[in-house]
Structure formats: C-alpha cells, structure tokens
Amino acid sequence: MFVWYLLGFVVLVAVIFTVGYIMKKKHYQRINELEAQKIELMERPVIDELTKVKKLKLTGQTEALFESWRDSWDEIATKLFPDLEEYILNAEQHTDRYQFRQATQMENQVEQVIHDIDTQMKQILRGLKELLASEERNAQDIRMAKDKFMMIRRDVLSNGYKLGEALGGVEGELDAIAESLNRFDMLTDQGDYLEARETVLNVQHNLEKLGVKMEKIPGLLRESDIILPDEMSKLQAGYDEMVQQGYYLEQLQLAAELERMSERVADLKVKIVDGELEAVENGVAELHTEINLFYDTLEHEVEARHFVKENRIVVEAKLEKQVSVSDALAEQIKEVKQTYHVSEDELATYLKVASQLETQKEQLASVTERLSEVRIAYSAAEDTLKEIDAIVSNISVEQDTFAEELRSLRKDELEAREDADRMRRAVVNLTRKLDRERLPGKPEEYVALSEHMEESIVKLEERLEEKPLNMKAIHHEWRVAKENLDHLTEKAEEMIVNVQLVEHVIQYANRYRLRNPELAEELRKAEDHFYKDFLYNKALEIAVTALEKVEPSAFKKIEKAYEMQINVDEVE
C-alpha cells in the first residue's frame, strides 16, 4: 500500500514539474518577444532626427513644437525605458519563482509601456519628418508663388485698363500678397517654418483667386458696360417697332422693367469693383434670361397675330352656325312638345347651352372691337378665340345628342306600340300552348302572374294613349311588361315540364305500388296535388322522393328518357 502512495506522489511531482516547466517556457517566450520589441524601439532614430532639426534655426511655433517633441523624448529616455527594463526584470524573476500570475501582470504592464512609447515615438518622428519636409516644400512653393505674383503684376501693369474701376482693388490685393511674401521670408529667416508654411499656402490661395478674378473682370465689365445696355436698347427698339405696327403691348410694362434692369446693371458694376464676382455672374445670367423672356413674349405676339387673322373669321362662322342649329333646335322642341312630354331637366340643359352661345357671341364681339381699337394683346385674343372654339365644339356635341334624343322619341313610340301588340300575342299563344297540354288546371301563382301580365300591358297601352306622351314613363312600363312576360313564359315552360315529369314518374312507380303501401300512399298524395290544387312542382317532389326510396337513381333514368323522347325501360 505504501508503495502505491509513494508511486502516486512521484507521479504528482512529475506532473507538477512538467506543468511548471511548460508554463515557465511559455512566459520566457513572451518575455523574449517583449524584449525584442523594446530593442526595436530603442533602435529607432529619434535622436538622429532631433539632432537634424536642432541644427535648424527655430523660432515661434516651430521652436515650441520642437521643444514639446524633445520633452516627450526625454520622458521616454529617462522614465519609460527604465520602467520598461524594471518590468521585464520583474517578469523574469516571477517566472523563475513559478509566480506565474504576478509574471503575467508584469508582462501586461510591459506591453502597455511599449504601446505608450511606440505611440509617442511615432508622433515625434512624424512631426520631425513633416517639419524637415516643410522647409523643402516651402522653398519650392515660394519660388512658384513669387513667379506667379510677378506674372500677375506684369499683366496688371500692361493690361490694367481692362479692369476699369476694379483696378484699384486688384492692386490692393497685390500689395497684400507682397506683404505676405515678405512675411514668409522673415519667418523663414527666423526659423518659424510652420507659420511660414501657413503663410505660403495663403499666398497660393490668394494668387489663385486673384488670377481667376483678373480673367473674369474684363468679360463682366463688357457685359455691364456694353452687352446688356445694347441688348436692352435693341429690346426697346423692337418694342417700339411692334407698337407702330399695331400691336398692343402695354401689359408688358417694358419701360418700368428696363429702368429696373438699368438699376441692376449699375449695381452689378459696383459689385465688380467690390470683387463680388459670383454675384455679378448670377446677376448677368438672370438679366439675359429676363431679356430673352421679353423677346419670347414679343415673338409670341407675332405668332398670335397670325393665328388671330387666320382663325377669327373661322371661329365666328362656327359660332354663327351653332347659333343657327340652336334656333332650329328650339323650333324642333316646340313641335315635339305638342306630342311628347319634354322634362324640365332636358329644357334646362337646352336653355343653358343657348345661354352659353349668347355669352360666346358677346365675347367674340368684345374681342373684335378691342382688336380694332388696339386695346387687347394678340396673345390674349388668341386665348379667347381658342376658348370660344372649344366651348362651341362642346355645345355642338351636346346639341347633337339632344337633337338625336328628340328624333328618337317617335321611333321609340312606334317600337313600344309594336311591342305591346307582340306581348299580347305572346300571352295568347302561351295560353293556347297550355291548353294543348290538357292540364288539370292552372296553379294560383300562375293565374296571378297572368293577371299581373295583363295589368302591365294595359298600363303600357294607357301610357301610349296619353297626350302628350311621357316617353320616360312609357319606357318604364315597357320594361316592366317585358320582365313580366319573361317571368310568365318561364313559369309556363316549367309547369309543362313538371306536369309531364309527374306523369312519367307516377307511371314508372306504379310497378311498385301494389307491393309497397308506403309508396302507394305517397303517390296518392302526389296525385291529390296534381289533380286538386294543381301544384305540379309539389306533386313531382313527393313522387320522386317516394320512388327514390324504392329505387335509387330512378328519377335520373326518367329524366334521360324524357329528354331523349324514348321509353324509360330503353335507358341503359
């Protein structure tokens, strides 16, 4: 037993030793990786880059920024690196003592310090690189800026007259740029490379703006001094010429509009001097648009005059023709009213249309008079003529429809009279057909339908005898009589079929009658309905139900035999 305990203890010690060995190896591996990262950080050329920049003559923003980088490096060199060494050493000691939790804490601390050092170093190196590069970029950019400055100044000296009153503003901007160039040289000599960089960028931006301005100002001055005034003068001349030719153009208020445009042009000149070129460009475009709109309006007046000359007589003739049609329709209404009843709604429609025609005559007369007195624009006259033409066209359709309705009254009357006679003959023929069937009698329902049918024909005939005839009422009674005839015919046909089927079912069922008392009783009931109260449908229902109990599907055979006009025993 002791041997087993001893063996277990040995195994446990071996396991612990193995686990400890693996954990120590893992921690040493991580510590070695952190040590390598520390060495990589210490080899970065921060001191070399600081030395290069320190050789430069630094002042102002640049000097302050350099001092902040150097302070950051001093913190790294004198505090963070020593701390890093201590944390790594502590991690190694904890690992040697198998204090793996403490070792892990130290390793995490090392990682955090390495991250902080890396971040600060990158900021320092990036800043130093940008500072050294800014000196080179400044030298290149300032040469280009000075060349462009001299080119613009030569252009102003040679072509300044093209700038007009804006010349003073341009020269002022050039003086301001010259001061900025001098300030750049001063900052560079003092070693303030960062502020010098901002200065040269501002110079580049201002030179670009000034170059664009010098390109635009001559064209905008030409617009305000020559092109726009010339276009306004031409517009006034065209307006005056059209007035002399008999055009009415007072609605355009051109004099007031041209005065307003002139004031806007004067305002644009002030804005050119003030350098508000974007506002000037927008204003010039808007004025051109307004002038073009006036030209479009004048052109439309020319087209409208052509339309009026070609279509005024045509519209007048069309209107007069429709007035004649309306007068003829009035006479037709008088004649029709002697025979037929014309509703107030129909008369109101006619009177409304006649009133519209009178209104259009007044409109046309007014336009004609104002044209002769030059008191209306041709465009307004065109719109009025088109409106009159559209209204007259609609009136023509309405009057044609009304006239057709009046003409159809006599046709409908004759057709209704003929149909009344036809329906009487149909009722007589239906009665004869039922008589030929030798029915035991007619059900009360059918008798009532027949009487109702007679009443509807009588009402239709009475309506046809009224003076004047009310065709709407006639149409109503006519429709009712047709519906009643269809219903009566349907019932008669149904009754004939039911009578014949009842007879066939009872004849077929008689083969079971003697040996089936229940069937015999039901057949007797069916026969009572058939011969006494003439309820053929009820008799058929009772007989079929009784037969189906004895012989299912027998009624289908009987129906098929009836349809095929053969003996039921021949049905397969």
What's the pLDDT tens digit per position in 45-72? 655 555 655 545 544 555 555 556 565 6
Contact 468, 530 (CB under 8 A): no
- The confidence score (pLDDT) of residue 13 equals 45
Question: Of how many residues is the chain composed?
Answer: 572
Q: How confident is the model at residue 141 (pLDDT cuts 50, 70, 90)?
A: low
pLDDT tens digits, 330-364: 777 776 666 666 665 666 666 677 778 888 888 88
Phi-psi region of 340 (alpha: psi -120 to 50; beta: other; left: phi over 0): beta
Residue 437 φ then ψ, to 5°: -75, -10
pLDDT of residue 553: 84
State residue 225's pLDDT score: 84
354, containing H or E segment = helix 344-372
- Helix or strand or coil: residue 440? coil
Between the ranges 6-15, 147-156, 235-244, where is the mean pLDDT highest? 235-244
Q: What pLDDT does 468 receive?
A: 77
Q: At what angle do helices 193-222 and 100-159 cross, to 10 degrees?
A: 40
Residue 416 has pLDDT above 70, yes or no: yes
Span between the terminal Cα atoms of the chain, in Å: 106
Which range among 100-109, 411-420, 441-450 shows the weakest confidence by mean pLDDT? Answer: 100-109
Tell me which of 316 and 144 has the higher pLDDT: 316
Over 90: is that where the pLDDT of 305 sits?
A: yes
Asked whether the predicted pLDDT for residue 187 surpasses 80, the reply is no
How far apart, in whole angstroms, are the C-alpha atoms of residue 236 and residue 181? 52
* pLDDT grade for 28, boundaries at 50, 70 and 90: low
Range of lowest pLDDT (154-158, 264-268, 277-281, 485-489): 154-158
The reported pLDDT for the residue numbered 256 is 92
In the structure, what pLDDT confidence band is assigned to residue 303 with cuts at 50, 70 and 90? very high
What is the average pLDDT score of the chain?
Answer: 76
Q: pLDDT of 434-485, one tens digit each? A: 888 788 888 888 888 888 888 888 887 888 777 776 778 878 888 988 998 8
Burial class (CB in 10 A: 0-12, 13-18, 19+), 307: middle
Instruction: Kindly report the pTM of this predicted structure.
Output: 0.49
Buried b (16+ CB within 10 A) or exposed e, 53-68: beeeebeebbbebbee
Helices and strands: H and E segment counts in the chain: 17, 0
Cα angle 357, 363, 368; round to 5: 125
pLDDT at 134 over 80: no
Distance CA 38, CA 92 (A): 15
Given a cut of 80, whether residue 380 has pLDDT beyond it is yes
Amino acid at position 38, single letter: K
> 129-138, 240-249, 349-358: which has the highest mean pLDDT?
240-249
How far, in Å, CA of 388 to CA of 363, rounded? 8
Q: Are 513 and 519 in contact (CB under 8 A)?
A: yes
Judged against a pLDDT cut of 70, whether residue 275 lies above it is answered with: yes
Cα Rg of the chain (Å, integer): 58
Among 26, 224, 186, 49, which residue's Cα sits nearest to residue 126? 49
β-sheet bridge partners, residue 340: 469
Lowest mean pLDDT among 2-11, 106-115, 371-380, 394-403: 2-11
Mean pLDDT, residues 489-515 taken together: 85
Q: 198 pLDDT exceeds 80? A: no
Give the separation between CA 87 and CA 161, rounded to whole angstroms.
77
400 against 367, higher pLDDT: 367
Residue 270 CB partners (closer than 8 Å, separation 6+): none
